[in-house]
Amino acid sequence: MPRAVFRSALVPALIFLVVVPLQSRAADPAVSIQWRTDYNTARKESAETGLPILIQIGTEDCFYCKKMEASTFRDVAVLGMMNGFIPLKIDGNKETTLVKTLKIQLYPTTVLAGADGTIHAFVQGYVAVDQFKEQLKRTTDLVAGDTKSFHEMAEVTAAIKAGEYAKALPLLQRLAIVSKGKAAEPRVSELLTEVEKVAAARLTRANSLLSAGKNDDAVAALNDVVKVFPGTTASSRAESHLIALGANKLDRVAISLRAPTLMTAARDLARAGAYSEALDVCQLLGTTSEAKAAQTLASEIKTDPTRLAVAARQTNEKAAALQSALGDAHALKGEYAEAVKCYELAILFSPNSPTATAATAQLVKLRGSVPVVPAVRSK
């Protein structure tokens, strides 16, 4: 008799394959599971709905496959739990490519995976009701965070489409952390890049106003970048420009109105390990209705040496970005020597980082503009 075992996934994630659909059989009236029979269609449905996928792989003549279908898959509790999955039945004799890809060695084999394709359980052999319910619950618990991320991704996409970047960014920045190494990571990165480009365009417009001597308009435009695009490179550079101009960089009224949302973002950032950003948000909330909650969260981070060390490293990276932005501001005003100092500090704060690379490139451009003492030439 085959053994029912649980083991970690043999492959990191499910993949999309072109497979020939299994011919549907007449549904047993006693069983309410609406089995899908096409792999690609089921994977697409899982990705679009955010529901995890359950793949039952067997054969027509598999004794234990039939036993499991006649017992486990007719249990009322199991049927109820499977409403939270996209159920897919595959004939291993017909879908040989999929069987080989998933390295199936025994029938039946049940694969439980998240909507992003990440495999959470790989169960071989016949599984009785209680053990199967345990596997379903374990997978449901594991994908709970994925489901939240799925809905957040939909919310982020809608917010970006509507131009509500201040609403989208806190969620997007959290997703960038929790999606690392997962199937959603490329899409999150793509959305972040898209927003960064919009923010950079707004910053370019503000810089143009600065260059034209329209300082009041420039201050308003820079404040807009800070408020609308929090946490972006453009926002950090806009803050630095405002500091260089001696302007009040923060609109306190706008922050007070957004206090509850910002407090939620601070907690999410802390849970995701972005301690420096969490502390920054807590500092912004110092005079708002969320001040007490912000102080508590900040204290939890500052009294934990491990978390504080991470925050210090993250702060250094941010300081490098700010110095680079300040260098940009000095360069705009023709203060090339000061700009060079700022770029050098950026490299010192965060060597071998993208910011340091960009600062190095700026130094190469500027050194030709900075007045220097001519080299001594022999007569």
Does the bond joining 21 to the residue before it have cis omega, within 30 degrees of 0?
no
Other C-beta atoms within 10 Å of 24: how many?
11
- CA atoms of 354 and 348, how far apart (whole Å): 13
> Would the pLDDT of 301 be above 50?
yes
Domain boundaries, the chain: 5-142, 145-250
> Would the pLDDT of 56 be above 90?
yes
pLDDT in tens, 184-225: 677 788 888 888 899 989 988 988 887 777 878 888 888 888
Cα distances from 33 to residues 128, 131, 331, in angstroms, run 17, 19, 67
Return the structure tokens found at 299.
């204290």
pLDDT in tens, 1-53: 444 333 333 344 555 454 444 443 333 444 468 999 999 889 888 877 878 89
Higher pLDDT, 376 or 259: 259
CATH code of 145-250, in short, is 1.25.40
Q: φ and ψ at 328, to 5 degrees?
A: -60, -45
pLDDT in tens, 43-55: 888 877 878 899 9
pTM, entire model: 0.42
Please return the burial class of 131, using the count of CB atoms within 10 Å of its CB with bins 0-12, 13-18 and 19+: middle
**Are domains 5-142 and 145-250 of this chain identical in fold?**
no
pLDDT in tens, 233-284: 888 778 767 765 654 444 555 566 567 877 887 888 888 888 887 888 888 7
* CB of 289 closer than 8 Å to CB of 295: no
pLDDT at 67: 93
Among 15-24, 127-136, 367-376, top mean pLDDT goes to: 127-136
Cα distances from 150 to residues 10, 60, 188, in angstroms, run 24, 36, 11
CATH topology of domain 5-142: Glutaredoxin (3.40.30)
